[in-house]
Amino acid sequence: MQRTDLWKELNEDKSLPELFQSIPARIPEVISLALACSLSLMPIISLLISITDGLYFFKYPIMQTAFNTIGYLGISFCLFIIVWNKYNLPKVYRSKLEILRDSGLIIFLGLMLFWTILSTTFSKDLHLALWGYVFQGEGLFTVLGYAGCFVIAINIKQRRYIKLILNIFVASASVIAALCLINTGKLMAFVNMDPSMAYFSNQNHYGYFICMALMSAVLLCVTDENPNSKKTTMILLLHILELGLLLNALIQARSLGPFLAVIIALISLFILTIFVDKTKIKRVLLIIFFAITIMGISSIFTWDISSDLYIFNSSLEDLYYGGDKYGFGSGRGTLWIHTVELIKQRPLFGYGLDNLSFPNNDGILEFGRPHCEILQFAACQGIPAALFYVSGLGCLLAMFVNRFKRIDILTLCMYCIIGAYLISSIVGNPKFYTSPYYYMLLGLCYSNIKTFNKS
């Protein structure tokens, strides 16, 4: 009956303000939820694309189109939200400081996007800046899709919706991890996947994806109700199973950056839980013990972690004492030093998205990336774009610090998800099949802390 009345009301002759005022507040959030759930299902959709088309130069453009479609719908939805807010939200005076404090992340990411558009117009190769290099495909049209994913997420206010999105995302990632764990020749051939990198083109990319999904699974395990009924027990066991699959997948990927990011995030979660919610300390400790156990068992068969950690520690010591700075981080030192020189040459607008070249072993310039997200922003989009990005994250951190006494364990876990990705991004590259998840989670983290106050 209510739907019929709403439909009749929308179909009556109305002015534009009246039309938007007749749209209930739940409608924009439900639309956002549907789009976010679609994005959370993208691991399964990408798996289906990989099954139906195993050719490299076909499956990735199809995946990218699917991701971008959701992002573009988010951009279109943003225009609707702006008009809806204009006619429905009360006008409340806020000082510039209050606006910056509460909306700094949105403001600075908006400025970053604006500067990226300017950078594109001044790029060395406009076609690459718009469409991206064939291997990465991260041009302006893809970045606009990232913005759409962020817009979708910041309009989701209810915590039950946030947990629903995370449940779908974790479940989808766990299906991929389970297939890689089974790892039979016929199965891998059928799904066109490698157990160490799934349908991704690189083990590190798979690691960045697992890093986000794994910490999302930790959130679900930590925030689950105590198992005092059959339903709550089954839900907790399901989330523990998903966490175990993702922990094994992290080891299978054999990517040190995401591994260290998860370890640091788990340690940070434990320390901060002491101040946020003492009733959750025991559960967080059990989760950490479970994580160490699963990763330890998995590494016996797939990855000599101690050897890689020894090499990493040796390279840090070598760097500290003025040794080989070019070989640091599996050769990332060379890329970083070259990137800094590129930034010096074009500091204002950069070279344009996907317009960087690096010398190979023969000294010939080839397309490449610095394997450090913030350096990539500075080199491609200019130093101002990188500063806008850092400033936005700084505003998000300031919200955490200012509201620390009022936050709850879910909010803390959301920040740990973002923190884990940011740590891994120090040695990583953004790409069309990982970045959309990050911007969605970033938007959810922002929306959650902005709307929630613990009583």
Q: Which of 196-200, 237-241, 389-393 has the lowest mean pLDDT?
A: 196-200
86-120 burial code (b ≥16 CB/10 A, e <16): eeeeeeeeeeeeeeeeebbbbbbbebbbebbebbb
Task: Please name the residue that has the structure tokens 């774009």.
Answer: 385
| pLDDT above 70: residue 226 | yes
| pLDDT above 50: residue 455 | no
Cα–Cα distance, 156 to 449 (Å, whole number): 12
Three-state SS for 194? strand
Q: Identify the CA nearest to 382 among candidates 421, 422, 345.
A: 345
Threshold 0.85, pTM exceeds = yes
Three-state SS for 198? strand
Please give the pLDDT value at position 6: 57
Q: Identify the CA nearest to 214 among candidates 203, 222, 225, 226.
A: 222
Task: Please name the residue that has the structure tokens 């971008």.
Answer: 68
* Tokens representing residue 339 in the block: 């990137």
Measured between its terminal Cα atoms, the distance across the chain in Å is: 36
Share above pLDDT 70 across residues of the chain, in percent, rounded to a whole number: 92
**Distance, CA of 245 to chain centre:** 19
Which residues make Cβ contacts (< 8 Å) with residue 109, sequence separation at least 6?
147, 150, 388, 389, 392
Q: Identify the CA nearest to 23 among candidates 83, 74, 90.
A: 83
Question: Distances from the Cα of 104 to the Cαs of 28, 372, 395, 410, 447, in angstroms?
Answer: 22, 24, 5, 22, 12
Cα–Cα distance, 168 to 437 (Å, whole number): 12
- Class of residue 448 by CB neighbours under 10 A (exposed 0-12, middle 13-18, buried 19+): buried
* Tokens representing residue 245 in the block: 């699959």
Cα–Cα distance, 168 to 142 (Å, whole number): 23
Q: What is the pLDDT of residues 165-193, one digit of tens each?
A: 999 999 999 999 999 999 888 999 898 89
Q: What one-letter code names the amino acid at 378? A: A
Which residues make Cβ contacts (< 8 Å) with residue 197, sequence separation at least 6?
203, 205, 206, 253
Q: What angle do CA 333, 261, 66 make, to 5 degrees?
A: 90
| Kind and range of the H or E run holding 130 | helix 126-131
| pLDDT above 90: residue 304 | no
Q: What is the pLDDT of residues 51-104, one digit of tens each?
A: 887 565 678 888 999 999 999 999 999 888 888 888 887 777 777 887 888 899
- Class of residue 73 by CB neighbours under 10 A (exposed 0-12, middle 13-18, buried 19+): buried
Cα–Cα distance, 361 to 359 (Å, whole number): 7
Q: Identify the CA nearest to 371 among candidates 258, 264, 266, 262.
A: 258
Cα–Cα distance, 350 to 242 (Å, whole number): 42
Please give the pLDDT value at position 5: 60
- Describe the crossing of helices 256-276 and 230-253 by its angle, rounded to 10 degrees: 140
User: Who has greater pLDDT, 419 or 134?
Assistant: 419
Three-state SS for 357? strand
Please give the pLDDT value at position 368: 79
Please give the pLDDT value at position 13: 52
Cα–Cα distance, 41 to 420 (Å, whole number): 21
**Distance, CA of 308 to chain centre:** 26
Q: What is the pLDDT of residues 344-361, one digit of tens each?
A: 999 999 999 999 887 766
